[in-house]
Amino acid sequence: METSLKKKYFGIALLLSLVICLTIHFPLILSVFFDDDGGHRRDSFDPVLAGIEFFHTFLVAFLMFNLNFYVLKPFSRQHNLKFVTLLLAIVLTFLSVLTLILIFNSLKPMIGFQINSHNHHDELLLRNLFSSALVLGSILIIRLMYKKQTYELEIQKLKSESLQSQFESLKNKMSPHFLFNTLSALNTLIRQSPDIAEEYVNHLSQVLRYTLLSNEKKTVTLNEEMEFTESYLFLIRMRYGTTLTVQTKIEERFMNLKLPPLTIQTLLENAVKHNEISKKKPLSIYIQTTENKELVISNNIQKKLTPEDGTGIGLSNLSKQFQLLGEREVQIIQVENDFIVKIPLISPENK
């Protein structure tokens, strides 16, 4: 990919260098084909000297494109353009132009051309500085266009991954295995505890409705997410009983802060999917807020001997959602016995 971009850049640089060269020497080109104000063509026109200067302008422009490719890095996604970098590019360009002019002027007498040193030097300097300014402007435009295109592609990719994540989340809930466990638990509850069975159906409908509507919102309040989480946990506890414990410590003052929908469900599902849950090895999950406006979800690690298949995009997609929202990054921390995820909560005025 990087090699392809370099080849594309140098192809564009060649074309733009030619365009810049034609633009700068356009008056000279016109004078070759048209009469001057007195009706006479330029008798002093030297096609060889004009060709050399034309090539010199083209060469300077192309070399400046190459030099600033490595300074301004127009195709680097990680490289942020700073004032110091731009100043460095300008200084290096100016020094390079002066060096090329000195080399060019020193070579001219060797091939039999006499130079009006002062006037010619000033004209050449202005011409090459103008050419270099056009080069720098072109590179900055290329950089902006690439950033815009990359940003749009990332948005489209994130939308695609988000839809896939939501589809997988719903598909997992609607899978035959899930429905079998759900209906089996419901069948038992109907016979033994009709009241709990009714509550079970209510929570199931809440889970399915929230999941279906989640793709309509970029963010929800922590209060909405926790209401959904309670319904989701009600269903999960029916399956695992006392072998799964979830403790929550959410401060009321953070309930209006926001986060992407299904954030907590993604992390709970991740913990349940990748850890053994049994009487010998119960799983403990903690959900709490911190003073730094973070939602922290942690669990003890007890990996399954046979890991379950998964899409592998849950945590990655969650991180990218926060990047798109322009918030602090999701922190994923794994220590010896604990897996911890810190989610930045978003202020309502921001989203």
Taking only the tens place, the pLDDT of each residue in 42-68 is 555 566 667 777 887 888 888 888 888
Taking only the tens place, the pLDDT of each residue in 147-201 is 888 877 877 777 777 666 655 554 454 455 556 767 787 788 888 888 888 888 8
Taking only the tens place, the pLDDT of each residue in 66-96 is 888 888 888 876 667 788 888 888 888 888 8
Burial 10-28 (b: 16+ CB within 10 A, else e): eeebeebbeebbeebbeee
pLDDT for 163: 61
The rounded mean pLDDT for the chain is 80
Domain boundaries, the chain: 2-156, 174-344
Amino acid at 172: N
Taking only the tens place, the pLDDT of each residue in 277-313 is 999 999 999 999 999 999 999 999 998 877 665 545 5
pLDDT for 173: 47
Written as six digits, the tokens of 199 are 């509550």
Is residue 237 classed as helix, strand or coil in its secondary structure? helix
Q: Is the pLDDT of residue 251 over 90?
A: yes
For 212, what's the count of Cα atoms within 13 Å in the CB-facing half-sphere? 7
Superfamily of domain 174-344 in the CATH hierarchy: Histidine kinase-like ATPase, C-terminal domain (3.30.565.10)
